[in-house]
């Protein structure tokens, strides 16, 4: 019988932060890489070492040791020090699709520039694998994957398989059933080494009939084992039944692929089973405050900043690629599986929050600079002119709220054709002296308008037909008063062309969908219960109480103007102050919840929920009842849509008997929406907050979305939903994770007629999550308030549209429009958001299809199938 070949790949899994801070990790990383360089250089028989497939680690090291650049790059080029394709080990389930793509883009680019990027989807510790990752890997030239978490042996007894993405693309994949750390500790004693190896190899051989087996050697922050070549020689001397060799992980995966001849099983889609390895499914709602910051900055980057920079490039402006890359890298650090999970010490989570602040501040100020540089080149014949930008590649009608500095006089806001734009003043503050004292006039001889009064004003404007991927101008006309008046009364009914909404006597909403005539009761039910979990898992207390907003309404009012109608609802829920009170059935602590329900002139009902959270260890969800008894839910995933069962019945029947590491629960992630539908109609919740939902109710007819959950410890033992040991560190208290204080959440609710695809849910979410920037072009603002700039020649058109794309049900949806990173053109990335229906790709001049890497050519396609993504490189005219 032939000896089996045991591939020992040696590595460290380097969490950049966790129960420890980034600073501590970086200090130790510096010493670690310096030691790895020495070991590899001094030991030519040490063939390779894997630096966790994170290019950020080498970038971090070289920042402090630039003198080692040549040494490091030489080892990477020889593929002895292995890095890439990731920048950081990112989450794949709740991070924006563009964040995952850019993580690979920058990770591969940095590694390749250093000498070589590992073409392997190496994911040692992320909490589940995204359903479209095979497609993403393939479009970065990666045809193999190696990971740990997400597959139960009920699903796959062997370790190797073909992983098919939801679009049909496949990669050859191997699962590490016992994790990346399985061989991290080695018995070096000659007398006991053979017995040790037999014990460690027996489970591996029981799961694989292949000649090639994997023995991962390493663990978290593991030092390089300098004597590993000698140890491997000792393995071969004492174990005549096997041949051991130090390999790269890709060598092993390719060896198994060649041995199998492609005759392996096929698994499709996302992999999130928690039988032998925990996937922490409810980590999606941990630290809701940080999740909200992540979503805000992702949307600002992808939906607004990058398209505006593309508009600027179209006018001849330089693309600040290094600034954009730095912003993304801050986000990549926060996208790492522990960091975005929030399963960290409070100290670490404060670092994460600060990185979000840095990223948001850089993005906001770069956006302001970009819109300013365009605006001051547009001819102006009025003192109060505004440039409004549409970052979407289709004309848009949209209500836009922005800040302006106005004279406080009656005015009408008009577009370029002189049409009056409906407008509401939300709030204003007299800051006359503050603003005028900051004005700087570089040319004292040039006349400028000095207003008598300046009010900082927040306006909402009903914009119409904004040019696609472009801008237009508005101006103030002081000859008439076009500001809408606001009426406030005690009414409890609002309506528009799509809905009639009334507050019922129990405080819940009844929504009548006018197109169908159907009336849906028990809408926007707030449900509070305990959380006995930790930073990894929601888990209900063994003695729980459920408190709802039914009959908890204490005040209601209505506000109406020309733009919208809004219900203001105040609830007072009596809830337990702690898990101890909850166990005793005591609910004496008041929790104030204020909700606004707003109708505009479309079919989206907008909600905002503000909570004063003064209690401990609990969860708050919002429920919307439907008339669909669902078997499956639909939600958006990376570049597409995923259909999931509402209950994991088969796994639930056996999980306790089989000692699963986690209870198989159908609390699921989404990118921006969740939907229930049949052939005639459907219901969609569009989130601008926590990306976690569950389908509940006796008939699985209710969509429940988590607003937040709170807890007091990083890790806890013996949870109802996660038996056994604690995840993380049980001694680390996390008082910040109780989220005490004011919390705000927003989301939208739609009832649609027709099929799922006719609802265009992803397109609605895209517009909902897009900011439409407005820049005020007034000379008196030039100065310390904004920084002073020189006058520019005003030679830009008054309106501009860089690109217009079709946006119907049968058209591909834009993921992003951005400047190309390494050429002078633009990148337009499109995908199919539909179920079981192809979409058309636009026929664009000067466009060629490329992979996600923005370089490798792809075949020309006219259509995209379900979950397909296509990137187009467009040459600048």
Tell me the pLDDT tens digit for each residue of 732-779: 999 999 999 999 999 999 999 999 999 999 999 999 999 999 999 999
pLDDT above 60: residue 501: yes
**pLDDT over 80 at 401, yes or no:** yes
- CATH number for 700: 2.70.98.30
Same domain, 462 and 507: no
pLDDT score of 441: 85
What value does the mean pLDDT of the chain take? 96
Which alpha helices (H) appear in 18-96, and where do they start and end? Answer: 22-42, 55-64, 69-77
Task: Report if residue 721 sits inside a domain.
Answer: yes
208 and 90 together in one domain: yes
* Beta bridge mates, 858: none
What would the two tokens of residue 458 be? Answer: 């927040």
* pLDDT exceeds 60 at position 293: yes
Instruction: Answer yes or no: is 376 within a domain.
Output: no
Considering only CA atoms, which of 801, 827, 829, 825 is closest in space to residue 877? 825
Whether 840 is covered by a domain: the verdict is yes
Cβ atoms 143, 172 nearer than 8 A: yes
Q: Are 30 and 359 in contact (CB under 8 A)?
A: no
Evaluate whether residue 380 is within a structural domain: no
CATH assignment of the domain containing 241: 3.20.110.10
Pair (596, 633) in one structural domain? yes
CA dihedral 799, 301, 315, 794 (to 10 degrees): 60
Which residue in 822, 865, 858, 828 sits closest to 844, CA to CA?
Answer: 828
User: What would the pLDDT profile of 614-672 be if each residue is shown by its tens digit?
Assistant: 999 999 999 999 999 999 999 999 999 999 999 999 999 999 999 999 999 999 999 99
659 inside domain: yes
Interval 442-446 mean pLDDT:
84
Same domain? For 296 and 273 the reply is no
Instruction: State pLDDT tens for residues 683-738.
Output: 999 999 899 999 999 999 999 999 999 999 999 999 999 999 999 999 999 999 99
Gap between the Cα atoms of 513 and 499, Å rounded? 5
517 shares a domain with 504 = yes
Instruction: Kindly report the number of other CB atoms within 10 A of residue 643's CB atom.
Output: 15
> Is 375 among the domain residues?
no
Q: Tell me, yes or no, whether 519 and 460 share the same domain.
A: no
Predicted pLDDT at 784:
80
- Residue 378 is assigned to a structural domain of this protein: no
**CA distances for 508 relative to 548, 558, 569, 598, angstroms:** 10, 15, 10, 15
pLDDT, tens digit, 9 for 90 and up, residues 458-495: 999 999 999 999 999 999 999 999 999 999 999 999 99
Rounded-to-integer distance, Cα 454 and Cα 474, Å:
19
Q: Is the domain of 149 the same as that of 168?
A: yes
- 243, 3 contact by CB (below 8 A): yes
- Full 3-state SS string of 534-574: CCCCCCCCCCCCCEECCCCEEEEEEEECCCCEEEEEEEEEE
Do 696 and 745 fall into the same domain?
yes
**112 within some domain:** yes
Residue 245's φ and ψ, nearest 5 degrees, are -150, 145
Statement to judge: residues 520 and 497 lie in one domain: yes
Residues 6+ apart with CB under 8 A from 148: 123, 124, 125, 175, 176, 177, 179, 180, 277
pLDDT tens readout for residues 48-74: 999 999 999 999 999 999 999 999 999
Backbone angles phi, psi at 730, to 5 degrees: -75, -15
The parent domain of residue 454 ranges over 385-483+773-799
Q: What is the CATH number for 857? A: 2.60.40.2220
**Same structural domain, 515 and 616:** yes
| Among candidate residues 768, 790, 816, the one where a domain is terminated | 768
| Confidence band for 822, pLDDT divided at 50, 70 and 90 | confident
Cβ atoms of 194 and 238 within 8 Å: the answer is: yes
Calpha distance 676→820 (Å, rounded): 38
Residue 413 to residue 476: CA distance in whole angstroms: 5
Residue 1 has pLDDT above 60, yes or no: no
Task: Domain count for the chain, please give it.
Answer: 5
Q: Which two tokens stand for residue 294?
A: 């992540």
Q: What is the CATH number of the domain that holds 469?
A: 2.60.40
Are 127 and 224 found together in one domain? yes
Distance CA 752, CA 761 (A): 10
What span, in angstroms and rounded, lies between the C-alpha atoms of 6 and 210? 10
- Which of these three, 228, 259, 279, is where a domain ends? 279
Mean pLDDT, range 153-177, rounded to an integer: 95
Q: Of 226, 253, 279, which marks where a domain is finished? A: 279
Do 147 and 270 share a domain, yes or no?
yes
Per-residue pLDDT at 698? 93
The CA distance from 653 to 649, in Å, is 6
- Residue 252 confidence (pLDDT) above 90: yes
- Six-digit token string for 369: 């600079």
């Amino acid at each position: 019988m032939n000896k089996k070949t045991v591939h020992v790949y040696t590595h460290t899994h380097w969490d950049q932060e966790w129960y420890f801070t980034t600073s501590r990790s970086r200090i130790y990383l510096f010493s670690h890489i310096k030691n790895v360089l020495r070991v590899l250089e001094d030991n030519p028989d040490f063939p390779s070492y894997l630096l966790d497939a994170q290019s950020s680690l080498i970038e971090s090291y070289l920042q402090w040791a630039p003198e080692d650049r040549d040494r490091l790059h030489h080892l990477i080029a020889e593929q002895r020090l292995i890095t890439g394709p990731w920048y950081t080990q990112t989450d794949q389930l709740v991070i924006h699709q563009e964040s995952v793509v850019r993580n690979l883009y920058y990770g591969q680019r940095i590694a390749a520039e250093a000498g070589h990027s590992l073409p392997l989807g190496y994911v040692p510790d992320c909490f589940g694998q995204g359903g479209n990752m095979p497609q993403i890997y393939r479009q970065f030239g990666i045809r193999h994957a190696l990971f740990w978490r997400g597959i139960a042996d009920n699903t796959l007894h062997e370790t190797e398989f073909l992983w098919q993405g939801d679009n049909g693309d496949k990669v050859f994949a191997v699962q590490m059933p016992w994790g990346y750390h399985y061989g991290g500790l080695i018995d070096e004693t000659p007398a006991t080494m053979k017995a040790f190896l037999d014990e460690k190899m027996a489970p591996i051989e029981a799961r694989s009939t292949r000649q090639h087996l994997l023995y991962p050697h390493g663990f978290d922050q593991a030092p390089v084992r300098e004597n590993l070549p000698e140890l491997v020689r000792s393995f071969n001397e004492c174990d005549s039944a096997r041949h051991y060799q130090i390999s790269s992980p890709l060598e092993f995966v390719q060896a198994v692929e060649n041995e199998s001849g492609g005759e392996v099983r096929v698994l499709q889609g996302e992999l999130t089973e928690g039988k032998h390895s925990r996937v922490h499914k409810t980590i999606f709602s941990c630290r809701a405050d940080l999740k909200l910051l992540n979503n805000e900055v992702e949307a600002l980057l992808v939906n607004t900043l990058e398209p505006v920079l593309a508009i600027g490039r179209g006018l001849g402006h330089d693309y600040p690629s290094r600034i954009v890359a730095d912003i993304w890298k801050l986000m990549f650090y926060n996208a790492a599986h522990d960091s975005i999970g929030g399963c960290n010490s409070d100290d670490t989570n404060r670092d994460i929050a600060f990185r979000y602040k840095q990223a948001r501040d850089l993005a906001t100020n770069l956006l302001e600079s970009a819109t300013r540089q365009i605006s001051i080149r547009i001819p102006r014949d009025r003192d109060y002119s505004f440039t409004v930008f549409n970052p979407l590649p289709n004309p848009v009608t949209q209500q836009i709220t922005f800040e302006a500095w106005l004279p406080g006089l009656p005015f009408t806001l008009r577009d370029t054709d002189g049409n009056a734009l409906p407008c509401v003043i939300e709030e204003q503050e007299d800051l006359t002296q503050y603003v005028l004292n900051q004005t700087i006039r570089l040319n004292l001889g040039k006349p400028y308008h000095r207003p008598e009064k300046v009010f900082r004003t927040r306006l909402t404007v009903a914009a119409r037909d904004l040019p696609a991927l472009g801008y237009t101008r508005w101006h103030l006309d002081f000859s008439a008063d076009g500001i809408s008046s606001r009426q406030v009364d005690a009414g409890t009914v609002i309506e528009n062309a799509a809905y009639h909404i009334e507050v019922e006597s129990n405080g819940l909403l009844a929504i009548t969908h006018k197109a169908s005539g159907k009336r849906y009761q028990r809408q926007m039910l707030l449900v509070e219960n305990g959380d006995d979990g930790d930073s990894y898992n929601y888990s209900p207390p063994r003695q729980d109480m459920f408190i709802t907003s039914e009959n908890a309404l204490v005040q209601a009012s209505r506000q109406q103007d020309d733009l919208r109608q809004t219900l203001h609802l105040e609830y007072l829920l009596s809830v337990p102050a702690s898990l101890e009170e909850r166990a005793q059935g005591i609910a004496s602590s008041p929790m104030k919840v204020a909700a606004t329900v707003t109708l505009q002139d479309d079919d989206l009902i907008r909600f905002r929920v503000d909570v004063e959270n003064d209690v401990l260890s609990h969860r708050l969800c919002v429920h919307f009842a439907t008339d669909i008894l669902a078997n499956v839910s639909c939600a958006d995933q990376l570049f597409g849509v995923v259909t999931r069962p509402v209950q994991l019945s088969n796994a639930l029947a056996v999980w306790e008997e089989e000692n699963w590491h986690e209870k198989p629960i159908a609390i699921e992630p989404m990118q921006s929406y969740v939907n229930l539908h049949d052939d005639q109609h459907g219901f969609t919740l569009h989130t601008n907050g926590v990306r976690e939902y569950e389908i509940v109710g006796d008939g699985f007819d209710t969509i429940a979305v988590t607003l937040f959950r709170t807890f007091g410890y990083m890790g806890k033992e013996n949870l109802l939903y996660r038996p056994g040991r604690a995840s993380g560190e049980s001694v680390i208290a996390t008082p910040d994770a109780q989220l005490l204080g004011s919390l705000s959440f927003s989301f939208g609710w739609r009832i649609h007629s027709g099929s799922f695809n006719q609802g265009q849910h992803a397109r609605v979410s895209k517009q909902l999550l897009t900011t439409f920037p407005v820049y005020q072009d007034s000379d008196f603002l030039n100065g310390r308030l904004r920084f002073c700039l020189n006058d520019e020649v005003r030679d830009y058109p008054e309106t501009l549209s860089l690109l217009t794309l079709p946006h119907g049900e049968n058209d591909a949806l834009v993921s992003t429009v951005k400047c190309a990173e390494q050429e002078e053109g633009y990148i337009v990335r499109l995908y199919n958001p539909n179920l079981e229906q192809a979409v058309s790709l636009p026929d664009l001049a000067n466009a060629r299809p490329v992979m996600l890497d923005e370089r490798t050519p792809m075949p020309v396609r006219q259509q995209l199938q379900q979950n397909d993504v296509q990137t187009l490189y467009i040459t600048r005219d």
